[in-house]
Amino acid sequence: MIRIENVTKVYRNGEIQLTALKGVSLHVKPGEFVAVMGPSGCGKSTLMNLLGCLDSITSGKYILNGKDVSTLSGNELAYIRNKEIGFVFQSFNLLPRMTILENVELPMVYAGVPARERRARALEALARVDLSERIKHRPSEISGGQRQRVAIARAIVNKPSVILADEPTGNLDTKVTVEIMRIIQQLNDEGVTVLMVTHEPDVANYAKRIVRMKDGCIIDDYPVQNRTVL
Amino acid sequence: MNLMENVKMALASIWSNKMRSFLTMLGIIIGISSVIAVVSLGQGGQHTITGEFEKIGANTVLITVDSSKAELSDYITLEDVKQLKEKVPYIRYATPVFQVQGQANSRLKSKRAYIIGGTSDLYQVDNIELAYGRFYNDAEYEEGKPVAIISNSAAKSLFKMEDVVGMTLDIGSDFAKKSFTVIGVVKNQIEMFSDMTNEDNLPAIIYMPATTLKQLFGMYGATTQVYIVADSKENIESAGNLAVKLLENRHGNRGREIYKAEPLMKQLDQINNVLGIFTTFVAAVAAISLLVGGVGVMNIMLVSVTERTREIGIRKAIGARTGHILFQFLTESVIISCIGGILGLIFGIAGAYGLGSIAGISPYISPGTVIIAILFSSAVGIFFGIYPARKAARLDPIEALRYE
């Protein structure tokens, strides 16, 4: 499913070199739910960006679904992002001028799905996150929890094999966090692989496996005992 | 992702920034409308002039006598004109044009008169349109009959009625007057003036045979201006050359270059040329404002790209390729310029009619002008939109997502 081997990432800014990942290897099998934890600056965001095909690795290998994506061009990576990966961000990242329905339809616009099918699939995805009302409203007119549910609907609408969630509950209160985690667990139960960055142990406990990072390396990798199941 | 999707997205974005979009368009609107107004007025002017010339006759050649070199014996006589028509094969009509100021008296009224004399061909050469009666014929010309054709306004002023065929009229100078029979009334050619001024103030325009005119005023009966009409466009030049040759033979003044044949269409070409150059020049000046408008479009698109950096990042994260983003922003700038172009076209046409009615020119809006205006404004959109669009398309998705 996801296999990275000895991956490094070096950022260059003029004279200064910053090594964000120092030879990380990780293997995630289909259907897993992995929480990546660690202090800020440990490289977990860099890892997520690389896994999300938003950035290219400096050295090492990245195999996604049997395909070596470490050598792909920008446009080829965009295609992978569109088809294989669903993103859920801490700050939702919905387009403010579009309606909720249009936001969910957008990945399919770039995939070239015809308008009628787009509508049907977007409605279906919204139903899966329990959001069938206010779909003609704009993101600013709904609550934070609802916004994150829209973002999840957008992430799953192209039926990706993996969802990458970067602090998905970071901007939400406890009650809403539970709601969002329930949806993510449901999706995982249905077979979607989930990778989630978080620094909250409570949230990480919803996952099946925890990977701990520090200073650009994986320092710990273990299954979750006493997992919170909703 | 298809074009419709892009257009919809671009329109939504333009609509959400109405005021800014309109101000951006304003540059294009001003540029296109001024170019359209100038060009359609220029073309309107050309059309009017061409129309006037064609009315007089596309095949007409003016034979002139160079009066700086000519002696009285070189002037063109009525017999010359007759010979021109009989001997030169390509000449269909030939007439001298004598113009004399005189007097016209009816029983009711006395009036200043502007008297024009020629052969019976004057009717065709001058393209005279009659409201009543007829023009004088060859026989009347040969015999110098006292017949006259008068203008409509003269009829109204002298007789207080329009159809005055058969009426008599005294025409001549203060010293010699003769009684004429009115055989025709000319349709009003200069209606614009007769509507505005009292016809009593206009001089009477009177046509009569040149032979009659000659007797009436006791003139020598030679002229410096003769109009000939060739039988076809191809023969214009030959007719003129042969006419000059014949005149030189008859007057025995070959080599002195007394006579000159000038096709009226040639004059038209010259006038149109000058007008065309003038129009192009003014349009080019106006087009500079279009350039400024284009820079305005680029400026706003750059601002828009910066403002929407995060949006671009989000779009890229969920799968937009470089081409998608490029096309999205390019569509936006083209639509802004195109809407500006269409509005400019409307204002330009309105402006052309407005200015035209003041200047007395009816503007001519050719389909070519319209198409070029639209194409040109799209081209401005593409040209000035490509740089901002590339800038947007090349943004790094991670940095764009981080942008606040």
Min Cα separation A174/chain B (Å): 25
| Alpha-carbon distances of B19 from B3, B6, B23, B340, B389, rounded to whole Å | 25, 21, 6, 13, 21
* Interchain pair A110, B1: CB under 8 A: yes
Q: In one letter, which amino acid is A128? A: R
Q: Of the candidates B16, B318, B398, which has its C-beta nearest A49's C-beta?
A: B398
B313: closest chain A residue by CA:
A93
Q: Of the candidates B13, B314, B321, which has its C-beta nearest A93's C-beta?
A: B314
- B11 touching A (Cβ < 8 Å): no
Residue B142 covered by a domain:
yes
Contacts of B313 in chain A (CB under 8 A): 93
Kindly state the average pLDDT of the residues B219-239: 85
* Interchain pair B398, A109: CB under 8 A: no
B328: closest chain A residue by CA:
A110
At a CB cut-off of 8 Å and minimum separation 6, what does B59 contact? B92, B229, B230, B231, B232, B233, B235, B236
Interface with A, mutate which of B304, B318, B332 (most A CBs under 10 A): B318
Min Cα separation B337/chain A (Å): 22
Q: Give the tokens for residue B189.
A: 């050619």
Contacts of B5 in chain A (CB under 8 A): 109
Same domain assignment for residues B112 and B174: yes
Note the pLDDT of residue B194: 46
Angle at B35 between CA B34 and CA B38, to 5 degrees: 85
Kindly state the average pLDDT of the residues B124-145: 89
Same domain assignment for residues B153 and B10: no
Residue B59 covered by a domain:
no
Residue B12 covered by a domain:
yes
- B317 touching A (Cβ < 8 Å): yes
ipTM higher than 0.85? yes
Kindly state the average pLDDT of the residues B121-130: 87
Contacts of B401 in chain A (CB under 8 A): 54, 89, 93
Three-state SS for B229?
A: strand
**pLDDT grade for B69, boundaries at 50, 70 and 90:** confident
Q: Which of residues B257, B285, B320 is at a domain's end?
A: B257
Q: In order of start, what are the domains of chain A with their CATH numbers?
A: 2-223 (3.40.50.300)
Task: Determine contact, residues B110/B259, Cβ cutoff 8 Å.
Answer: no
User: Residues 61-80, chain A: which have Cβ within 8 Å of B?
Assistant: 74-75, 78-79
Strand boundaries in B141-294, DSSP class E: 147-151, 168-172, 177-186, 204-209, 222-223, 225-230, 259-263
Same domain assignment for residues B26 and B107: no
User: Residues 118-177, chain B: which have Cβ within 8 Å of A?
Assistant: none
Residue B61 covered by a domain:
no
Same domain assignment for residues B244 and B303: no
pLDDT higher than 60, residue B191: no
pLDDT higher than 50, residue B193: no
Task: Determine contact, residues A43/A21, Cβ cutoff 8 Å.
Answer: yes
End-to-end CA distance of chain A: 26
Q: In one letter, which amino acid is B395? A: L
- B7 touching A (Cβ < 8 Å): no
Q: At what angle do helices B367-393 and B264-307 cross, to 10 degrees?
A: 20
- B79 touching A (Cβ < 8 Å): no
Residue B337 covered by a domain:
yes
pLDDT in tens, B300-344: 999 999 999 999 999 999 999 999 999 999 999 999 999 999 999
Pairwise pLDDT comparison (B50 vs B259), residue with the higher score: B259
Q: In one letter, which amino acid is B325? A: I
pLDDT higher than 80, residue B164: yes
B15: closest chain A residue by CA:
A97
Residue B58 covered by a domain:
no
Kindly state the average pLDDT of the residues B47-52: 82
- Highest mean pLDDT: which of A117-121, B247-251, B353-357? A117-121
Same domain assignment for residues B103 and B243: yes
Same domain assignment for residues B238 and B307: no
Same domain assignment for residues B221 and B106: yes
- A136 touching B (Cβ < 8 Å): no
Same domain assignment for residues B251 and B346: no
* Interchain pair B310, A93: CB under 8 A: yes
Instruction: Look at A146-160, B88-102, B192-206 and tell me which has the smallest mean pLDDT.
Output: B192-206
Instruction: Look at A70-74, B17-21, B56-60, B357-361 and tell me which has the smallest mean pLDDT.
Output: B56-60
Q: Of the candidates B16, B318, B323, which has its C-beta nearest A106's C-beta?
A: B318
Strand boundaries in B97-203, DSSP class E: 98-105, 110-118, 130-133, 147-151, 168-172, 177-186
pLDDT in tens, B369-394: 889 888 989 999 999 999 999 999 99
User: What is the spatial distance between Cα A50 and Cα A25, in angstroms, rounded to a whole number?
Assistant: 12
Residues spanned by the domain of B363: 3-52+270-402
Mean residue pLDDT across chain B: 88
pLDDT higher than 80, residue B235: yes
Phi first, then psi: give them for residue A138, nearest 5 degrees.
-90, 155
Tell me the count of A-B CB pairs closer than 8 A.
Answer: 61
**pLDDT grade for B32, boundaries at 50, 70 and 90:** very high
* Number of domains, chain B: 2
Same domain assignment for residues B286 and B162: no
Mean residue pLDDT across chain A: 93
- B320 touching A (Cβ < 8 Å): yes
Q: Which of residues B206, B229, B257 is at a domain's end?
A: B257
Q: Give the tokens for residue B229.
A: 């009409």
Q: Which of residues B257, B284, B300 is at a domain's end?
A: B257
pLDDT higher than 70, residue B203: yes
Return the number of other C-beta atoms located less than 10 Å from residue B282's C-beta: 17
* Interchain pair A78, B319: CB under 8 A: yes
Contacts of A89 in chain B (CB under 8 A): 401
Same domain assignment for residues B32 and B71: no
Residue B147 covered by a domain:
yes
Contacts of A110 in chain B (CB under 8 A): 1, 315, 318-321, 324
Same domain assignment for residues B320 and B379: yes
Looking up tokens 């996150």 gives A129
pLDDT in tens, A49-70: 999 999 889 999 999 999 999 8
Interface with B, mutate which of A11, A53, A54, A104 (most B CBs under 10 A): A54
| Closest-CA residue to B313 (of A93, A46, A77, A9) | A93
- B229 touching A (Cβ < 8 Å): no
**pLDDT grade for B108, boundaries at 50, 70 and 90:** confident
pLDDT higher than 90, residue B181: yes
* Interchain pair B316, A55: CB under 8 A: no
Residue B325 covered by a domain:
yes
pLDDT higher than 60, residue B262: yes
Which string of DSSP letters, residue by residue, matches A120-148?
A: HHHHHHHHHTT--SSTTS-GGGS-HHHHH
Three-state SS for A166?
A: strand
Task: Determine contact, residues B362/B49, Cβ cutoff 8 Å.
Answer: no
pLDDT higher than 80, residue B55: no
* Interchain pair A82, B16: CB under 8 A: no
Phi first, then psi: give them for residue B170, nearest 5 degrees.
-90, 125
- A159 touching B (Cβ < 8 Å): no
User: What is the spatial distance between Cα A115 and Cα A132, in angstroms, rounded to a whole number?
Assistant: 19
Same domain assignment for residues B341 and B241: no
pTM: 0.73
